[in-house]
Amino acid sequence: MSCANSDERADAGTAENEPEFLEFFERYDALMLEDPRAAVVWLDAAPASMRAESQWVLCKAEALYSADGAKVAADYLKEVLTEAPEFADAHHYLAGLEQDLGHTRQAIEHQLETLRLDSVVDLVAEPVSDEMTEAVVAEAERTLAGLPDQFKRRLVHVPVLLQPRPNISLVADGFDARALGLFEGANLAEAECGNGEVGLTTITLFTQCLSDAFGHDEQELLEQVRVTVLHEVGHYFCLDEDALAELELS
């Protein structure tokens, strides 16, 4: 878990792209590498205008997590949400902390609230453009076309689908409300053993989640599409991240 890095903050489009803001968080990033406790002190010394920014809150949680552990960070975010119950990013970060603490029910509750709040924003925000959707599809197809032949042959019956976000039933089962992709169905081993059907296997990309996280940078968006497709392909072939890297597929 982490708050956005300085490059992502530069594209935030609010006070967060002001030089003072960027300099402050560049120093924060450096301190986090050296001494998370010093990063907490640095954040606490910020002027009131800086402390009012949502990114400050998320970075405070991150610094507390690194310095003092998940429980301290979770308690901090619970206090934040008492005052700002519709802070979707805080709910999402807290969900991860609760999962780390072994609190599965609480983690799911915060993931569901994240999905609800994100979906409310979707009602009034500009939808993912046709151009962006086409770029996502093209990159996914390009990624699959670049796989070795032995992989491509086995993926011929596995479609790549697009959805805006994970649905509520998935999130209620513990799935990340802001996941970028999903593998569903029988993997190759199950299919070849007769324990599943290849036709029931799908790879889904969540276009709104991709756009929210990387829509400010088309090159980064397409890179994340590539990484996500390869990650889900890895699930199909029962490959972990190390195995994908060895095959130069990560």
Whether 101 is in a domain gets the answer yes
Structural domain containing residue 199: 130-246
Q: What is the pTM of this model?
A: 0.89
pLDDT of residue 10: 43
Tokens representing 59 are: 């970075």
Domain end among 124, 147, 179: 124
Helix ranges (DSSP H) in the chain: 6-10, 19-34, 36-44, 48-51, 54-68, 70-83, 88-100, 104-124, 130-145, 149-154, 168-172, 188-192, 207-214, 218-236, 241-246
Q: Can you give the pLDDT at residue 195?
A: 55
Cross-strand partners of 163: 206
Closest by alpha carbon to 213, among 205, 113, 154?
205
- Do 228 and 154 lie in a common domain? yes
CATH of the domain at 64: 1.25.40.10
Q: Clarify whether residues 174 and 76 are in a common domain.
A: no
Specify the amino acid at residue 117.
L
28 and 67 inside one domain? yes
Q: Which residue among 108, 124, 140 closes a domain?
A: 124
Output the tens digit of pLDDT for each of the chain's 250 residues.
Answer: 667 654 444 444 445 557 888 899 999 999 999 999 999 999 999 999 899 899 999 999 999 999 999 999 999 999 999 999 999 999 999 999 999 999 999 999 999 999 999 999 999 999 999 999 999 999 999 999 999 888 888 888 889 999 999 999 999 999 999 999 999 988 877 766 655 444 578 999 999 999 999 999 999 999 999 999 999 998 888 887 777 777 766 6
